[in-house]
Chains A and B, each alone.
Chain A
């Protein structure tokens, strides 16, 4: 797919939790229509990057611009209205609410009722399983279904850029495969996606751009294919 204009530009981002510094100035860009992946070991700062972009964590220094607009250190509820949506790590569903209610809460940002209905139809075509489970309580869904719901909930916000934090976490291999196919499908439908993954092999396969994070720094960047061919990456993240 042709990559368009840069949609999200992260420039020299520094984040610290108290005295513990999590990000030491990372910079990358996500172009319109791309899938960009951040891979890295535990504690490398992948989720911190995501949370900082969406505004849950404040940054010390650096710039984040979305669609040409500066969004660094704005409150999360304002950032979300600009067209970003995060499917957070560990899914963070409203476990005591039904699937329908979860989707409704996801769609609260979208005020237009017709658009909301369109989004719901989109969700149902992508995840027919969600439609079957509408009346069920989210906590009783299986892990895979919960992940689908988390992505659906993010879709209901009608975002231009979706941030998916570890969508394959804790899923069985065949479900991982399915989730990645759905992500690819979403991308083809026109969503730009920033992906954080432990499952580097699958993630690199579907992404146009990838960055490797190590201890809060980007140590390597390239296309998905380049990185999966790189011997160092193979050794560190792809299991030899």
Chain B
């Protein structure tokens, strides 16, 4: 069990990731300034909260409605503003978020809780059935599955590394089978390392098994290996609602990320990036800029609504003041810190700021000062955000490529991806 405080922070991180990615889609990929993104979070939060807690709707309908309501909000604000070029959207969304906040304060306190907020929204825990501790067969199946995945990832990792090195070495020393040599060397190195530490390495990975010729066959007698680790994990921890909650959130984040990735390499995604770069040129190329911007804005807002709905069922209490201008600034900072136009950057930015906000809590009101200071430093030394517009994988690959080329003595500028970080 992770203690409930950290559990909440982890869940908030995951929600903020979705929220940040949703703004990144609008700000980073399309270049449209939305200064009131907390408004869409509020729509999601209040819609799902009010519908499920006060009107007795089922959870799935509440979440679906909050996405729908966010999209409607996005159309109301986006349609007039996105027909224009410039910063009109920023001002309109800013006003929109404030109007929503004041409305939540004043309208139907029986439904939305008024200024004190809503406390009666049921947490996800109330919906998740507490998983039964796993029986022997289920446990064994999960353990085998996890172990297989683990070793598959290990092999794939070594193979990917070898293929990568192959590409680089092949430039200088032409031979098509470097990767096999490298894989062989890695295996050899592992065996040698195992010998060097007197079998401790294999012991850690595989545990110790006992073979009986008579009755039972192979049997674990020393529970140290990966297999046992997964066995223990699936048996005890998996049975807790906490893990079910983490799993649920991680699955949602994964699905959202996958959707966005596909969106960005499809026609509308490409169009949206082109519009950020040069709207007139994009028009020239036959793109309906207003519609493209609007549907991107709708997509981003829908995700913010989803984040809001998830937030409503995670935190014990929310009130209108939680969705004030500073909330919008927070998410803006997460995007900018991570890097505009980088999904993995948003992951990093959201995590850092969420954790930072908690870590600096002991400073009281000085927290905001520290917070601004960190941001000023960032703007001075890393103005493009942590990752710029590159993804984490690209960045690591590029770094490694230059480093190795320097090692091999190749010209690092030749044939490399020239996109600057």
Which A residues contact B (CB, under 8 angstroms)?
A: 54, 56, 75-77, 80-81, 85-86, 88, 92-98, 101, 104-106, 108-109, 135-137, 140, 153, 157
Contact = CB atoms under 8 A, between A and B. Distances in A.
A224 to B, nearest CB: 27
Given A96-B389, A137-B419, A109 B285 contact: yes
Contacts of A88: 280-281, 284
A77 B290 CA distance: 10
A76 B283 contact: yes
Contact of A105 (B271, B417, B419, B420): B271
Interface string B347-386: 0000000000000000000000000000000000000000
A105 B282 contact: yes
Given A94-B278, A97-B277, A77 B267 contact: no
A101 B270 contact: yes
B288 interface: yes
B418 A56 contact: no
A183 B270 CA distance: 28
Nearest to B286: A80
A113 B282 CA distance: 20
A106 B285 contact: yes
7 contacts: A76-B284, A76-B286, A80-B286, A94-B281, A95-B277, A105-B271, A105-B273
Nearest to A133: B418
By CB atoms of chain A within 10 A, which of B282, B286, B287 has the most? Answer: B286
Nearest to B418: A136
Contacts of A56: 280, 283-284
Contacts, number: 71
Given A92-B280, A137-B420, A97 B285 contact: no
Interface residues on B, range: 20 to 34
Contacts of A106: 285
B418 A92 contact: no
Interface in B255-286: 267, 270-271, 273-274, 277-278, 280-286
B292 to A, nearest CB: 9
A86 B285 CA distance: 8
Contact of B287 (A108, A136, A137): A108
Contacts of B277: 94-97
A75 B290 CA distance: 11
Contacts of B288: 75, 77
Which interface residue of A77, A85, A92, A137 has the most chain B CB atoms within 10 A? Answer: A77
A94 B274 CA distance: 7
Contacts of B285: 80, 85, 105-106, 108-109, 153, 157
Contacts of A86: 284
Nearest to B274: A105
A81 B419 contact: no
Interface residue SS majority, chain B: helix
A80 B283 CA distance: 9
A92 B287 contact: no
A85 B285 CA distance: 7
Contacts of A153: 285
Contacts of A54: 284
A118 B369 CA distance: 58
B66 to A, nearest CB: 32
A105 B270 contact: yes
Contacts of A157: 285-286
Nearest to B267: A108
Contacts of B417: 98, 135
Interface string B380-399: 00000000010000000000
A225 B287 CA distance: 38
A81 B389 contact: no
B273 to A, nearest CB: 7
B19 to A, nearest CB: 25
A98 B267 CA distance: 16
Interface in B273-314: 273-274, 277-278, 280-289
A140 B420 CA distance: 10
B283 A77 contact: yes
Contacts of A92: 278, 280-281, 284
A153 B286 CA distance: 12
A38 B130 CA distance: 76
Given A76-B283, A80-B285, A108-B286, 8 more contacts: A77-B288, A85-B284, A85-B285, A92-B284, A93-B278, A94-B278, A97-B273, A105-B282
List the 5 shortest-distance A-B pairs measured between CB atoms, nearest first: A80-B286, A94-B277, A92-B281, A109-B286, A77-B288
Nearest to A102: B274
Contacts of A97: 273-274, 277
A154 B288 CA distance: 17
A135 B288 CA distance: 27
Contacts of B270: 101, 104-105, 108
B418 A137 contact: yes
Contacts of B273: 94, 97, 101, 105
Contacts of B418: 135-137, 140
A106 B267 CA distance: 11
B345 to A, nearest CB: 15
Interface in B389-421: 389, 417-420
Contacts of A95: 277
Interface in B195-238: none
Contacts of B284: 54, 56, 76, 80, 85-86, 88, 92
